[in-house]
Copies of this chain bind each other. A is one copy, B any other.
Amino acid sequence: MAKHEPDLSLLFHALADPTRRSILTRLAEGPAPVTELARPTGLRLPTVMRHLSVLETAGLIATSKDGRVRSCAIVPEALVPVRTWLDEQRAIWEDRLDRMDEYVMKLMEERTQ
């Protein structure tokens, strides 16, 4: 389709993996270095690094290096476009419901005449 929302695809794709979601949940509680994020996953460091880079590319986390330790932190506002899309989607749906409701009302009115 080549839509003009590459970020949404990046975001949803980043969120589609349980490991990445668990990392985000962990980071919601506060920043953490790579190794600490890796430990509970049971995955090797390079694998986790890849997940982190997916998250960072999507803008969901930000990282900074202090000495040899890279600290990762969540970027909560990155989820805004996701919420916005959900809201828009719901708005269209509800709008349609309203119009359908109106239509049914009109039908019933006509019938009772």
Binding site for B on A (CB under 8 A): 1-3, 5, 8-9, 12-13, 15-19, 21-22, 24-25, 28-30, 41-42, 74, 76, 79, 82-83, 85-86, 88-90, 92-93, 96
Contact = CB atoms under 8 A, between A and B. Distances in A.
A48 to B, nearest CB: 11
Ranked nearest first, the 5 interchain pairs of A and B with the lowest CB-CB distance are A12-B16, A3-B18, A28-B92, A13-B16, A12-B15
B41 A21 contact: no
A10 B6 CA distance: 19
Q: Number of copies of this chain in the oligomer?
A: 2
26 contacts: A1-B18, A1-B19, A1-B22, A1-B41, A1-B42, A3-B18, A3-B21, A5-B21, A8-B21, A9-B16, A9-B17, A9-B18, A12-B12, A12-B13, A12-B16, A24-B89, A25-B88, A28-B93, A28-B96, A29-B92, A29-B96, A74-B93, A76-B90, A79-B86, A79-B90, A83-B86
